[in-house]
């Protein structure tokens, strides 16, 4: 079984993806310890976080079994080089690939060449704004497409009957505990929330134990919503890979 597929299934089954962004918690390692204590297997570390260029390789080296997606990626290396003057934490897709991270998440998307280059070894999650764009990105190699979690009606539109359950939806943006079930019921199979929102009510000295408890609550909320929305998928949780793939409520590339 390839690392790519392992990441894909782990992300799907975890259902909730904690995301490292710019927030009020300066101790990145404490956030990471909270994730591990909560049983998290997949994280997203965005290039918005100022220590991304040092922490991403550190995580890869010290936690090789943790599946690491990198968010806020820019597909154009020339743009990255120019913007490093202001944002020194930026890394190119080539640099991240060399670090053997497990996937890329992007607001601005990926070029056709990048999709072709990385789709067979890295999870690709580009943002989309229309059904047509979602179809074209999945057809080109995206494993999920990123949609706004704050707009459940838009999420539902990607799952309308004429769309034939094609697109795997990754929802992010404003997903608090009360909004996650709404996004999942609308059609999102993965929900993502940044620590700026997850720990919004906590002070900077929040403990690892407290972080872990909150993350567990987010994961359980998302997983329960998925079980209610797709009971057949839930029944296949312990099944072999092919049986599990056959129960997915969307297209998959495997």
Q: What is the 3-state secondary structure (H, E, C) of 62-105?
A: HCCCCEEEEECCCCCHHHHHHHCCCCCCCCCHHHHHHCCCCEEE
pLDDT band, residue 11 (cuts 50/70/90): very high
- As a whole number, mean pLDDT of residues 236-247 equals 96
pLDDT digits (tens, 9 = 90+) for 128-175: 999 999 999 999 999 999 999 999 999 999 999 999 999 999 999 999
Alpha-carbon separation of residue 121 from 33, 36, 113, 186 (angstroms): 27, 24, 14, 29
Cβ distance 44 to 19 under 8 Å?
yes
Q: Which residues of 148-177 are buried (b: 16+ CB within 10 A; e: fewer)?
A: bbeebebbebbbeeeeeeebbbbbbbebee
pLDDT band, residue 60 (cuts 50/70/90): very high
| Residue 125 pLDDT > 80 | yes
- As a whole number, mean pLDDT of residues 230-238 equals 95
pLDDT band, residue 62 (cuts 50/70/90): very high
pLDDT band, residue 101 (cuts 50/70/90): very high
For the chain, the 3-state helix, strand and coil shares in percent, each to the nearest 5, are 45, 15, 40
Domains detected in the chain? 3-245 (3.20.20.70)
Q: What's the rounded Cα separation, in Å, for the pair 171 and 184?
A: 8
Q: What is the pLDDT of residue 96?
A: 98
Q: What is the pLDDT of residue 31?
A: 97
pLDDT digits (tens, 9 = 90+) for 199-227: 999 999 999 999 999 999 999 999 999 99
Q: What is the pLDDT of residue 67?
A: 98
- As a whole number, mean pLDDT of residues 13-40 equals 96
Q: What is the pLDDT of residue 83?
A: 97
Q: What is the pLDDT of residue 151?
A: 93
Mean pLDDT of all residues in the chain?
A: 97
């Amino acid at each position: 079984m390839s690392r790519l597929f392992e990441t894909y299934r782990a992300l799907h089954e975890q259902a909730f993806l904690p995301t490292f962004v710019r927030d009020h918690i300066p101790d990145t390692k404490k956030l990471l310890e909270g994730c591990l204590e909560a049983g998290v297997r997949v994280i997203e570390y965005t290039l918005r976080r100022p220590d991304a260029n040092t922490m991403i390789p550190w995580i890869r080296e010290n936690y090789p079994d943790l599946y690491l997606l990198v968010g806020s990626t820019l597909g154009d290396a020339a743009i990255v080089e120019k913007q490093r003057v202001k944002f020194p934490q930026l890394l190119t897709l080539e640099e991240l690939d060399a670090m053997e991270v497990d996937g890329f998440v992007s607001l601005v998307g990926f070029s056709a060449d990048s999709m072709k280059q990385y789709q067979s070894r890295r999870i690709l999650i580009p943002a989309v704004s229309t059904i047509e764009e979602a179809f074209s990105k999945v057809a080109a190699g995206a494993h999920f497409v990123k949609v706004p979690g704050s707009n459940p009606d838009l999420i539902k539109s990607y799952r309308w009957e004429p769309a034939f359950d094609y697109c795997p939806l990754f929802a992010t943006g404003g997903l608090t505990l009360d909004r996650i079930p709404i996004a999942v019921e609308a059609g999102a199979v993965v929900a993502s929330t940044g620590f700026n929102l997850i720990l919004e009510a906590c002070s900077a000295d929040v403990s690892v134990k407290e972080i872990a408890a909150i993350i567990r609550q987010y994961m359980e909320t998302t997983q329960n919503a998925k079980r209610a929305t797709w009971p057949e998928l839930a029944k296949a949780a312990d099944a072999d890979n092919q049986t599990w793939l056959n129960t997915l409520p969307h297209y998959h590339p495997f």
